[in-house]
Amino acid sequence: MNVALFGGTFDPIHRGHLAVARAARRQLMLEELLFVPSGVPPHKRAGAVTPFHDRHAMVVLATAGERSFVPSRLEDPDLVAGATYSIDTVRRLRRALGPRDRLFFLIGADAFLDIATWRGADVLTHEVEFVVANRPGFSLAALPERVRDRATLHLLPGVSERISATEVRRAVRSGQGLEDRVDPAVAAYIYGAGLYRANSCAHHRSETRSKTPAA
């Protein structure tokens, strides 16, 4: 079975994420693609990311119509203590897969250029096949030689959806519509939960609400 892990803060998940996932599914004939919202990202300061259960809930909504897209709690802070690192997540997932299953790791080109700085990077390059979503100006020549030599890489062509989570959050704060940026169900969740509003207490309210059930 071909399985891919697509990790990120997903704060929030948007149409660009879904376009990349669909392109990877087509190119690599993926049977299953796990969307893994980060638990406690080691590179983000405390409180800078929307609570996990909100981000996971939006992933559930955005992927509801795609049978091969699976929302994952692999990095749920209620289940995994402390900062979450990709190498640990991959190892947990590997234990659940069979010896003949292929595991792909879907990542943006900008993040992949920093892969050598990740914890356990050398081990990670042996555990997964990287699927790199291409970006204008990206070149494999910019990767450290040890990564180029060890990693198995699949390049995805650029996708048409040029959207960022930063842009979505900015649109909410400025009162712009979200129809062209996120799934309608995700937009409704953002508005209903009061996420990303300027000078709001949305993060505090989310942290004190009861957790959503596992999907």
- 68 within domain boundaries: yes
- 36 within domain boundaries: yes
> How many separate domains does the chain show?
1
What is the reported pTM?
Answer: 0.87
- 91 within domain boundaries: yes
Among residues 2, 9, 67, 64, the alpha carbon closest in space to that of 36 is found at: 9
Q: What secondary structure does DSSP assign to 139-204, as a single string?
A: -GGGS-HHHHHH-EEEEEPPPS----HHHHHHHHHTT---TTTS-HHHHHHHHHHTTT-TT--HHH
Tell me which residue range forms the domain holding 50: 2-208
CATH of the domain at 114: 3.40.50.620
3-state secondary structure of 83: coil
Residues 90 and 43: their CA atoms lie apart, in Å, by: 18
Residues 125/163, Cβ–Cβ less than 8 Å? no
- 35 within domain boundaries: yes
- 214 within domain boundaries: no
Strand pairing partners for 69? Answer: 33
- Taking only the tens of pLDDT, the chain with its 215 residues reads 999 999 999 999 999 999 999 999 999 999 999 999 999 888 776 568 999 999 999 999 999 989 999 999 999 999 998 889 999 999 999 999 999 999 999 998 888 888 989 999 989 999 999 999 887 677 777 777 778 788 899 988 877 677 899 999 999 999 999 989 999 999 999 999 999 987 554 443 443 343 333 33
- 215 within domain boundaries: no
